[in-house]
């Protein structure tokens, strides 16, 4: 399907129908026509833009609906926000970007859900200088894994971190304390697209459906992921089991031997994430 779309776009542009250069797809095809990139590279990039991060976005949506089901007071406030938006639109009229900007409380709810259940466990950074930490040295050039849990559950940044409280996002959050999309110059390039997906999906669900948890007591399991280490170093790690009501500050769980320091990374697995992911992919296929 994408091959056909790319080739049709190229045919249009070569026949003189110039596309909007502000559109990334147009720039891709322009580069292909000039011989700067191949057709395969264009298709790969389009696939990346269209399908990448659907697992993380769907997971964030799934956890948001879980939190709304468990906190009916938050659901009522969120629904009122969307009812107000609908009251200003004609029947059948599509959402606009301006509508999504009015979803302030909805985004607070989504952000708080992503704080408690980060879609990513963390990422890597390269030490640009020797770092001394609690008597251990992280040498310059070493790869360091940071985790979202290290700050998302830290009381220094989030009071009563195990409590679901969307209102905490009414105030500015300290830099690099909240990192569901990463941070700095390499922050997730699709963070605004993910935000729109989340807000729009929530809007159409909360204004059309009621829901409840089929398994209210279903346990969320957090499993440590494999931990990277230098190829010529001995592996040293601790496995940490985190229970729902016994979460510990991961920023303080730093196993260190042979001068090698790293964080435990703990992604979350939850069953309804798969269902939300299938819904999103189905939704996209209908839009096409």
Query: Which residues carry a binding-site annotation for heme?
Result: 188
Secondary structure of residue 162 in the 3-state scheme: coil
Angle between helices 2-14 and 39-51 (to 10 degrees): 120
Rounded CA gap, 67 and 60, in Å? 11
Under 8 Å between Cβ of 257 and 236: yes
Residues 6+ apart with CB under 8 A from 114: 60, 63, 180
Q: Which class for 203: exposed (0-12), middle (13-18), buried (19 or more C-beta within 10 A)? A: buried
Secondary structure of residue 238 in the 3-state scheme: coil
Binding-site positions: 188
Rounded CA gap, 180 and 147, in Å? 10
Q: Do β-strands 122-126 and 143-147 pair in parallel, antiparallel, or remain unpaired? A: antiparallel
Q: Which class for 242: exposed (0-12), middle (13-18), buried (19 or more C-beta within 10 A)? A: buried
């Amino acid at each position: 399907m994408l091959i056909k779309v790319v080739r049709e776009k190229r045919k249009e542009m070569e026949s003189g129908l110039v596309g909007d250069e502000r559109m990334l797809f147009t720039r891709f095809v322009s580069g292909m026509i000039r011989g700067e990139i191949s057709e395969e590279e264009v298709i790969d990039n389009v696939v990346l833009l269209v399908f990448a991060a659907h697992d993380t976005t769907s997971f964030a949506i799934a956890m948001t609906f879980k939190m709304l089901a468990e906190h009916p007071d938050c659901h009522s406030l969120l629904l009122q926000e969307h009812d107000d938006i609908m009251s200003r639109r004609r029947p059948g009229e599509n959402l606009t970007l301006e509508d999504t900007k009015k979803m302030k409380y909805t985004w607070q709810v989504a952000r708080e859900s992503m704080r408690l259940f980060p879609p990513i466990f963390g990422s890597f950074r390269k030490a640009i200088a020797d770092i001394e930490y609690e008597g251990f040295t992280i040498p310059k050039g070493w790869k360091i894994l940071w985790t979202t849990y290290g700050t998302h559950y830290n009381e220094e940044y989030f009071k009563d971190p195990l409590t679901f409280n969307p209102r905490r996002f009414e105030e500015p959050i300290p830099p690099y304390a909240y990192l569901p999309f990463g941070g700095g110059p390499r922050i997730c390039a699709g963070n605004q697209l993910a935000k729109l997906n989340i807000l729009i999906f929530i809007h159409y669900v909360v204004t059309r459906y009621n829901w409840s948890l089929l398994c209210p007591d279903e346990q969320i399991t957090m499993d440590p992921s494999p931990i990277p280490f230098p190829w010529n170093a001995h592996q040293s790690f601790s496995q940490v089991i985190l229970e729902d009501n016994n979460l510990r500050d991961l920023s303080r769980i730093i196993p260190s031997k042979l001068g090698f320091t790293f964080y435990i990374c703990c992604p979350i697995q939850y069953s309804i994430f798969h269902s939300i992911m299938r819904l999103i992919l189905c939704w996209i296929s209908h839009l096409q």
